[in-house]
Chains A and B, each alone.
Chain A
Amino acid sequence: MSVLVIAEHDNAELKPATLTTVTAAGEIDPSVAILVAGFDCHAVAESATKIAGVAQILVCDDARYQHQLAEDVAALVVAVAGEFSHILAPASTFGKNLIPRVGAMLDVSPISDIVSIESSDTFVRPVYAGNAMATVKSSDDKKLITARATAFAAAATTGGSASVSELQPVDGSGGRSRFVGQELTQSERPELTNARVVVSGGRGLGSAENFKLLEQLADQLDAAVGASRAAVDAGYVPNDYQVGQTGKVVAPELYIAIGISGAIQHLAGMKDSKVIVAINKDEEAPIFQVADYGLVADLFDVLPKLSAALEK
Chain B
Amino acid sequence: MKILVAIKRVVDYNVKVRVKKDESGVETANVKMSMNPFDEIAVEEAVRLQEAGQTEELIIVSIGVKQCQETIRTALAMGADRGILVETEDQLEPLAIAKILREIINKESPDLVIMGKQAIDDDSNQTGQLLAGILGWPQGTFASKLEFSDQRVAVTREVDGGLETLSLALPAVITVDLRLNEPRYVKLPNIMKAKKKPLETIGLGEFGLDLSPRVTTLKVAPPPERGGGVRVESVEELVDKLKNEAKVI
Q: Once the chains bind, are A132 and B17 in contact (CB under 8 Å)?
A: yes
- Cβ of B166 and Cβ of A69 under 8 Å apart? yes
Enumerate chain B residues within 8 angstroms of A94, measured Cβ to Cβ: 159-160
Contacts of B162 in A (CB 8 A): 182-185, 238-240
Give A305's nearest chain B residue, CB to CB.
B235
- Whether A293 lies near B219 (C-beta < 8 A) is no
Main secondary structure of the interface of B (DSSP, over half): mixed
Q: Is the interface of A mostly helix, strand, loop or mixed?
A: mixed
In the bound complex, do residue A176 and residue B169 qualify as a contact, i.e. CB atoms below 8 Å apart? yes
State whether B163 touches A239 (Cβ < 8 A): yes
> In chain B between 201 and 249, which residues have their CB closer than 8 angstroms to a CB of chain A?
213-223, 226-227, 229-236, 238-239, 241-242, 246, 248-249
Indicate if A197 sits at the interface (CB-CB under 8 A): yes
Instruction: Say which residue of A132, A253, A264 sits within 8 Å of B220 (CB atoms).
Output: A132
Residue B138 is within 8 A (CB to CB) of chain A in the complex: yes
Q: Are the C-beta atoms of B129 and A104 separated by less than 8 Å? A: yes
Q: Assign chain A's interface to a size class.
A: 35 or more
CB distance from A266 to the nearest CB of B (A): 12
Q: Given A103-B133, A105-B133, A290-B226, check contact A112 B125 (CB 8 Å).
A: yes
Q: Could you pull out 18 A-B pairs where Cβ atoms are within 8 angstroms?
A: A69-B166, A97-B139, A101-B133, A104-B130, A110-B126, A112-B125, A122-B218, A134-B217, A135-B220, A136-B216, A176-B169, A178-B166, A179-B164, A254-B242, A264-B16, A276-B226, A288-B231, A291-B229
Task: List the interface of chain B (C-beta within 8 A of A).
Answer: 11, 13, 16-17, 19, 26, 38, 93-95, 98, 117-118, 120-134, 138-139, 141-142, 144, 154, 157-169, 177-179, 213-223, 226-227, 229-236, 238-239, 241-242, 246, 248-249
Inter-chain pairs besides A107-B95, A275-B248, 17 sampled, C-beta below 8 Å: A97-B142, A112-B126, A132-B26, A135-B218, A136-B218, A177-B138, A178-B166, A178-B167, A182-B162, A183-B162, A245-B120, A246-B38, A253-B248, A254-B242, A290-B229, A292-B230, A293-B242
- Chain A positions within 8 Å of B, measured between CB atoms, are 67, 69-71, 74, 92-94, 96-105, 107-113, 122, 126-140, 173, 175-185, 193, 197, 221, 229, 232-233, 238-240, 245-246, 248, 253-254, 264-265, 271, 274-277, 288, 290-297, 302, 305-306, 309-310
